[in-house]
Structure 1
Amino acid sequence: MAAPEPSILPTTKAASAVGAAYPLLTLTAMLWAGNAVMSKWAVGEVSPQALTCLRWTMVCGVLLGIARSDIRRDWRQLSGSWLRILLMGAGGYTAFNSLFYAAGNYTSTLNLALFQGALPVLVILANYVVSRTTVSPFQALGVTVTLMGAAVAATHGDWSVLTTLALNRGDVLMLVACLLYAGYTVALPSRPPVSGFSFFSAMAVAAFLTSLPLLAVEWAAGNLIWPTPKGWAIVVFVALGPSLGSQLAFMRGVELIGPNRAGVFVNLVPVFGAFLAVVLVGEPFRWHDGLALALVLGGILIAERLGRRRSKESLPG
């Protein structure tokens, strides 16, 4: 799926690729940030597991209609890796989104976006734990600064929370969700040798199947909220935007300028998240939100711009 890096393309073609990729990747980050806003608007309109299940139901319906030939061509490789696909879909899509939407009941849109912005650094940590990948001094510094930003976001600027461990429930859920997604990202290089379109289709089916038991638990516990008219609008946006549209835009951006440069655009998520939280949700922008945002973005800049090595990266949304 990775295209040649722009440096080995003819100058005119490289400029054209960058010109086309930047809007696509910026749109991707904006849609992922919009997902944080939807998690807040969904409270009382549609329950977390209903939203997760309906989201992937719609995505599967669209993909099975437009990606049928790709799936048929790659079916043998996909079926041979069904367990890996099922586990990756369960952790990276179903569990992540379920925890993400549940966190929206307890924490702010800003915090949801800020924790998402820490994902690239969490991937560095996961890579070290799994494969003992060497971390450069700049990467280590970036990890430290970004985790400080996450701590400010989680404590809402009240450092006494750390002494009592009275963390917001939503912040804890979001941290677990991000750790799961980091693990999913680390597992991506070992995915089956099929097209990105086919693989995403298989992952969407896995996400739908693994969301059904969670939906049943939510119903049995009496917490199921079937979408209201506003809830259905949220479901449609989340399915077509953060789920489908952003994935396709990101894949095309990777094809145009390569995975290394495309992955940097993940860092725009907290920026757009902060903007949307203030403009659309009406949340106040307090001093600790600005500090957390600066620390997260600064840490990511240090880790990925100053400390990254020229190695293949894969950071999907």
Structure 2
Amino acid sequence: MLPLGVSMLWETSIDPSTALRERFGFEGVDDVEAWVSASLAEHWQIAVARCTRIVVSDHNAIVWAETDQGPVVVKWSYGEFRFPALDASTSLLRVLGEQGVPVAVPISLVGGHERVVIDAPAGALSVTVLPVLTGQWLDTADDIAVRSAGASLARLHRALSDLGSDDWTSPHGEVHVKKRIENWLSDRDRGFAPDASRRLREFLADLPELDESAQLVHNDFRAANILTENSRVVGILDFDEVRTDPPVLDLAKASVYLGTRFTEWRPIPVSVRRSFRAGYEQVRPLSSAAAQWFDVLVLWHSLAAVSDENDSAGWMSEL
């Protein structure tokens, strides 16, 4: 559970109260509580009893509040450039909820929308209100839960495949996956693991054509965004990073970052990665070409995660 009061989600170089004030203009929990109470009463007709937790993450914040409609989460962002994408991803939650995907379906405003832009002390915020989902963050030491997570990602991919991407993501230039990796190797590889970079180049040369079309994918499927109960997934959180990609790329990225939570970023053992993939393929088997791509994509994401020349977190140790 995240701490009571104000905290940072993953940043460690700034005091939480300072970030709350400088980024959003709030002087503390009481100030946030007053603003949240007024905003939810006006736009949602929800009465707030108190705010218990405030978590700041870059240009976003999450507030847990006790209300007359039960516990809710209030999420906001001051990143105006992201407002259209946030509108789309929030509406997407309702569609997925109607298909039975375990997501927090937004609580509608009085006018029926899922998000609204509200003035705050430091400028406009895009705000949505969600019910609180109960459960524990995914424990990657629990093999049954890991397999359940893999199956849940596969079911999510199936649900997302039925939705056109243009209505749910902001426009961006889609680059062929092989070209994307080649561009990364030439422009962004920091050279911390030269042998792995060489292997990646060699593998790319022999890959077959990827027979998966790009579709909507979660793009941030990991322990911090997966809730479980009795080793079964009961909640998938945070669709703010949704984008279009081949599903195997999303699976590979999730396989690398599955165990990460907030400031805890370390790889999972190969055995856990295998269980996660096995759970996925019970629902959505990979083609022969996608299976070959999976191994290369895991190498790429692991290589990209290396943050220093000693690979102190051990991202390459499981390859």
Q: TM-score, normalised by structure 2?
A: 0.29
- Structure with max Cα Rg: 2
Q: Which one scores higher on RCO, CA 8 angstroms, separation ≥ 6?
A: 1
More strand by share: 2
More helix by share: 1
Q: TM-score, normalised by structure 1?
A: 0.29
